[in-house]
Chains A and B, each alone.
Chain A
Amino acid sequence: MNFHLTKEQTLFEQMIKGFAEKEVKPLAAEVDELERFPEETVEKMARVGLLGIPVPAELGGAGGNNVMYAQAVEELSVACATTGVIVSAHTSLCIAPILESGTPEQKKKYLPRLASGEWLGAFGLTEPNAGTDASAQQTTAVEDGDNYIINGSKIFITNAEYAHVYIIFAMTDKSQGVKGITAFIIEKGTPGFTFGKKEKKMGIRGSATSELIFENCIIPKENMLGKVGKGFGIAMKTLDGGRIGIAAQALGIAQGALNETVKYIKERKQFGKPLSAFQNTQFQIADMQTRISAARLLVRSAAFKKDQGEKYSADAAMAKLYAAEVAMDVASKAIQLHGGYGYTREYPVERMLRDAKITEIYEGTSEVQKMVIAANLLK
């Protein structure tokens, strides 16, 4: 048993903290306020290798691991949850399925470009009528010679028009139910592939979230990811990994809110003394820190198990379930400790609470996490 970061992870922590503080944090309020996708940050992250952390060096990545990836998403989210989810969706939802299920040709074609950040990745599973019930896919892929013709639409897609590569799920055989779902790699610019409505969101407002529309979109068969009918398994496996990223994002939001609170309560004075001198305040921050530390252990252990090639599905679900709950709770308490100021946009905790809510919803709602955890217990 060893709870220490490795030497590499320790050095990485130093780097990512500095990067988040200097490059990401100064933009966070603006990106939120203007609903602006931080393209310049993506470029900077690409330069230092943050967009290909767990990709092996021979495929153009950094040769890192999932613990480091979780560290990265956490620290980026301490500063700006929008930036955290850009990396998470790119890495967990696009790079990971290609890495795990792609053919050697697909890996060679896509991974170096994705890992270097030349291309950004996205993932499309959710549809207007297929949310938590992902099996109700209505997007279809019909075989046509060497191609598939795709029709349908995907909603709430992170990285949307800023991505270049999309992992898309479609029904190849409706009669088979979930066994009729197949995954495809689709590139931006493919005829018949367009973007629909851009969502106006409560939080993570800088991340681009749009609808993807496929109208007789012709995809060559070599772009099928995995085998025909194996799409649902790929989607579920991908979401297992994605949950580590979102759990890390939630953890980062919570830590960010606590950091802001500790700073504030030392400065703010009421009744002649700083808020930090009141025992109620001290008890509050003690609870916040305890829960954050517990969430971090869950996140790191899920990532560690993934790195070891062990089963981690339930661990990732527990990490996400708990970290998302902690994020909501800590951000809400942080506002309470900030008082009226905390409710204004003068202080970042207001944004953090709005950002926190999505972590209970996407990549499986908290209820879905409980289903996964329970299923693991009852099998």
Chain B
Amino acid sequence: MNIVVCIKQVPDTTEIKINPVTGTLIRDGVPSIINPDDKAGLELALRMKDQFGAHITVITMGPPQADNALREALAMGVDDAIHLTDRKFAGADTLATSHALAGALRNLSCDLIITGRQAIDGDTAQVGPQIAEHLDIAQVSYLRKLDYDGKGTFTIERTVEDGYEILETEAPCLVTVLSDAYPSRYMTVKGIMEAYAKEVKVWGFNEIEVKEEVLGLKGSPTKVHKAFSRGVKAAGELYELDTDEAVGTIISKLKEKFII
């Protein structure tokens, strides 16, 4: 079985802080990580490899430093890595991103494509399903468990608001994985030593079969009209009181607001 895992390198948004004075983002020194949902996707693929001997390719689209994310995936145990990068891909929205990735995936034979449900920097959850559409294959999003019968049929548990669904589908298909579904393994020391010895294939526009007009900023139907820092809400009252007074203040305020 051939599995391709699509990953994204994202800033660790849990480390991003707000400058309390200016209300702007402090991004300096914020480490880049593999998006958590994608990392669970890697783990799912690695378990399939452990169990069924799958061959795993990891792919990412991003700037040169995204190479780190691919090396990390190699050190966790994936077999091959592809870095999709080209100035023509820059400024892409989700649809244009999905076209580029789908273009690269067409070059590969894959029985199972795994993406994370969503990335923590954008939270859109769109690229996975859009790739599936371009490739004209089935998709199952919000995956929390996947079983394989060894013969081409996947049984998938998909999380929904009030429980989960059990779905069945055949290869090839695309799934999007939830981060807590498959807590990821660590890189191994041996894997780390080998990660840089392996070749990461770098593909640009010329290596994939996609029309230029659907790529990058030009191929993006959505555009950022404006971006602004969220207005800071007028600060309320702040008190430093001992426990007794604090409790009294809370109770009187809640009464004043008719909450209690």
Could you tell me which A residues sit within 8 Å of B by CB distance? Answer: 7-8, 11-12, 14-15, 18-19, 47-50, 52-53, 57, 61-64, 68
Partner of A15, one of B68, B75, B194: B75
Complex contacts, A62 vs chain B, CB 8 Å: 188-190, 192-193
Whether B189 lies near A48 (C-beta < 8 A) is yes
Whether B193 lies near A64 (C-beta < 8 A) is yes
Closest residue on chain A to residue B33 by CB atoms: A14
Partner of A11, one of B71, B185, B190: B71
- A47-B189 Cα distance, complex, nearest whole Å: 10
- A64-B193 Cα distance, complex, nearest whole Å: 6
B187 to chain A, nearest CB (A): 5
The contact string, 1 if C-beta is below 8 Å from chain A, for chain B 46-59, is 00000000000000
The contact string, 1 if C-beta is below 8 Å from chain A, for chain B 186-207, is 1111111111100000000000
Judge if B72 is at the interface, Cβ distance under 8 Å. yes
Whether A57 lies near B187 (C-beta < 8 A) is no
Complex contacts, A12 vs chain B, CB 8 Å: 187, 189, 192
Query: If the complex has contacts A11-B71, A11-B72, are A19 and B186 also in contact, measured as CB distance less than 8 A?
Result: yes
Complex contacts, B68 vs chain A, CB 8 Å: 11
Whether A57 lies near B192 (C-beta < 8 A) is no
Complex contacts, B191 vs chain A, CB 8 Å: 49
- A61-B71 Cα distance, complex, nearest whole Å: 20
B-side interface mostly: helix
Partner of A49, one of B71, B72, B188, B196: B188
Whether A7 lies near B71 (C-beta < 8 A) is yes
- A61-B188 Cα distance, complex, nearest whole Å: 11
Complex contacts, A57 vs chain B, CB 8 Å: 190, 193
B67 to chain A, nearest CB (A): 10
- A200-B203 Cα distance, complex, nearest whole Å: 60
Complex contacts, B186 vs chain A, CB 8 Å: 15, 18-19, 48
Complex contacts, B185 vs chain A, CB 8 Å: 48
A5 to chain B, nearest CB (A): 12
In the A-B complex, list the 8 residue pairs whose CB atoms are closest, starting with the nearest.
Answer: A49-B189, A62-B189, A62-B190, A15-B187, A49-B188, A63-B193, A48-B186, A48-B188
A142 to chain B, nearest CB (A): 41
Find residues 59-101 in chain B having any chain A CB closer than 8 Å to their own CB. Answer: 68, 71-72, 75
Cβ contacts A to B, 8 pairs, < 8 Å? A11-B68, A14-B72, A18-B186, A48-B185, A50-B189, A57-B190, A61-B190, A68-B189
Query: If the complex has contacts A8-B195, A8-B196, are A63 and B72 also in contact, measured as CB distance less than 8 A?
Result: no
Whether B72 lies near A53 (C-beta < 8 A) is no
A353 to chain B, nearest CB (A): 30
- A57-B190 Cα distance, complex, nearest whole Å: 8
Complex contacts, B195 vs chain A, CB 8 Å: 8, 11
- A184-B190 Cα distance, complex, nearest whole Å: 29
B40 to chain A, nearest CB (A): 15
- A64-B75 Cα distance, complex, nearest whole Å: 13
- A8-B190 Cα distance, complex, nearest whole Å: 10
A272 to chain B, nearest CB (A): 9
- A76-B72 Cα distance, complex, nearest whole Å: 20
Most buried by B among A62, A64, A68: A62
Whether B188 lies near A11 (C-beta < 8 A) is no
Whether A8 lies near B193 (C-beta < 8 A) is yes
The contact string, 1 if C-beta is below 8 Å from chain A, for chain B 163-198, is 000000000000000000000011111111111100
Partner of A7, one of B188, B194, B196: B196
Complex contacts, B189 vs chain A, CB 8 Å: 12, 15, 48-50, 52-53, 62, 64, 68
